[in-house]
Every structure is written in C-alpha cells, then in structure tokens.
Structure 1
Amino acid sequence: MSREQLPVELVDADGLPLGSTTVTHAHTAPGLLHRAFSVLLFDADGRLLLQQRAEAKTRFPLRWANACCGHPAPTKDVVTEAAQRLDEELGLGSIALTPVGVYVYRALDPVTERVEHEYDHVLVGTVAREAPRPDPAEVAALRWADPDDVRRAIEAEPWSYAPWLAGVLAAWEAAAVEPGDR
C-alpha cells in the first residue's frame, strides 16, 4: 500500500478525534484538519538537522524541512509513531523524543495543489553519535544548521523551506526546551 493510501486521524481544532480518512483525501483541497507530527533533531552542538524533501514527495518536494514529519495512524501514540518514522526516513530509531507543543497550520502547495492542514505535534530529540542513513525515496539531502541561521534563511527565502518549519521552530522555542533536555 502506498503511503498516500494510509489512514490519518481527522481532528477538531482542539485535537479531539473525529474519524479518519486517507492521506490523499486529507491533503486534497480544501484540506481536512488531521493529526501529524514534526521532529526536530539537534546534535551535541545545538545544531538542527534539516532534510530536503525528496522530489517524489506529493507536498512541498525539494523544500528544506525539519528532520522528519509524518502522520500517526488513528488512535496510535504520536511519540511511538514518530520514532518509527524517524527510523524509516533517517535510520535513527533509537532517538528519545520529547513532545514540546502543537502547531496548527494550513498551507497550499502551489506546485502540487495539495493542502497541508495539520494539528502538528512538535517533538524534539538529540542525536548523540548516530549518523543518519536517509532513505533516498524520502530525503534528497541533509544538512546541519544553527537554528538562528535557519530562522533568518526562512525569512529571506521562504520558498526554499516547508511552510510549517517556522511554526514548528516557534513551538519549540515557546516550550523553552533546550536540546538534550528530557
């Protein structure tokens, strides 16, 4: 089964479950609000891991984003599902993840005309020594960057970054969780 046919959990504005649909249907205009997660990974120096989304992605391909994004299956634990996705995309299944907040957003991809309308759980983890092993079907490139440099780059070239990245970074900052905090 393709990832586009997997189920996602529809939610209301407070994150309460309303039912489910497929990834494709949830991202078809006008877009249905559904549960998602975004993982921010840091190294020991406080640098942020960015992934350039693969060209084959149906939403915002080739844009720079946080380390990993995805959708937990309906009724499943967000942290467990995010750790599994992190392993699938980057080969980093042993990273402890800490929830730091939620970011709700809606964004239309002008290229694919798909819509992101997500109740996005923001999770943070630290990469100790593991070297990411990205799946080329999911990830075009990886790079480490200072979070302040990323914020400035998003302001200067928003078209180069996934539209959720600024909000995900803001949710992390609002939680005042330093990389490595548990």
Structure 2
Amino acid sequence: MSAVITSRETHLVELVDTEGTAIGELSVADAHQSPGRLHRAFSVLLMDSQGRLLLQQRATAKTRFPGRWANTACGHPAPGEKLVTAAARRLAEEVGLTGVDLTEVGAFTYRADDPASGRVEHEYDHVLLGIIEPTAYRPKIDPAEVAALRWVEPSTLWVGLNEHPEQYAPWLPGVTRLALP
C-alpha cells in the first residue's frame, strides 16, 4: 500500500542526535522514509482521577500505523517550537480538547518499521501527561486523524500490549512506562 502525502507530511520536523540536540530539519514525509531519520516528536497521554488512560485509535488514513491504538494525541513540534505549545495544538486538532495542563514526564527513543506503509518511525519522543475528568470532556475527534477513543485501565492496557502488540502503536509501551507512576 502506498502512503498518501498530506499537507501535514510537508511540515518540517527537527532532526536530533541521540541526546535530543537539534541538528537539522526535514519534512515529515522525508524523515519517515526508510531507513528513518531520528527526529523530535511528542506523545500526549491523558489520565483521569481514577487512573484510567484515554487512548485513540488512529484513523485508517494515517500514513504510519493506521488503525492501531495509541496514546491520546501525538505529533511533531516545528523546529524550535515549544513542546507544550505543539502538544496543546495537536490535542485540539485530533480530539478537540483545549485548556489541559500538560507536564513533560520524560523522553525516550524508538525505531519501528510500519509493515502496512513501508514508513519508518525513528523518534526522540517527549512524553507529556495531563489529568482530566471524563465528565468535563466532550470529544470532537477529527476523523482524518482519529477513528475512536476509549478509556482503559492501565492493567488492561498492559495485557493488550503483551498479548496483541500488533493492535497498538509501537511507541505506546514506552509512552505508558514514562507516564505511569
């Protein structure tokens, strides 16, 4: 299956070294071509006061890992853009949520080949955690980005990640390890 280039694929990402230091810029599409170029990304994971996590199922039109369950929102900051600013923008774009306080809880590096598209994720991924209450949240998902949302207990998520890893985005285990106390 060949991936469709969207306008988001023409945006610039910040190439980084293994320590997360910026070393250049490249388009999203080019950074994800095999063998993949290490670049800055972020993953937002929202939790409620009972400890449940809000997951999104990636839209089937996504160029990388379509249809898989992932953290609440994710993306790439523009070169030099503040992580919290970029993460807040993607939360609003993907799931229609604004005004969430986000805290960076760490970063990790991963590399994953997408067998469906032939694209490669090689990211220095900053993980941001936010706490919300589901009763105060009315999702407005962008169907080009998100197919579905669901709240899940961490223990249920870990079982799914271990028993059916092909149903989840390959970065989700690393995101979850950093986000949960």
State the distance in 2 between where 1:156 and 1:131 align.
Answer: 31
Structure 2 residue runs without a partner (length 5+): 1-5
Q: Determine the C-alpha separation between the residues in 1 that align with 2:18 and 2:9.
A: 23
1:101 equivalent in alignment to 2:106: yes
Q: Percent identity?
A: 57
Q: Scaled by the length of structure 1, what TM-score is found? A: 0.93
* CA distance in structure 2 between the partners assigned to 1:132 and 1:120 by the alignment: 25
2:38 maps to: 33
Compute the displacement of 1:91 (Å). Answer: 0.7
After TM superposition, the structure 1 = structure 2 runs for residues 26-175 of structure 1, keeping only pairs within 5 Å, are 26-128=31-133, 129-173=136-180
Cα RMSD after superposing both structures:
0.9
Aligned partner of 1:180 in structure 2 is none
Report the Cα distance in structure 1 between the residues aligned to 2:39 and 2:98, rounded to whole angstroms: 24
In the alignment, structure 1 segments of 5+ residues that lack a partner are: 177-182
- How far off its partner does 1:171 sit? 1.6
Aligned residues: 174
**Offset, 1:44:** 2.4
Give 1:162's aligned amino acid. A
- Once residues 103 and 170 of structure 1 are traced to their aligned partners in structure 2, the CA distance between those partners, rounded to angstroms, is 10
TM-score norm. by structure 2 comes to: 0.94
Residue 170 of structure 1 and its aligned partner are, at CA, apart by: 1.1
Q: Please give the alpha-carbon distance, in whole angstroms, between the structure 2 residues aligned to 1:96 and 1:5.
A: 29
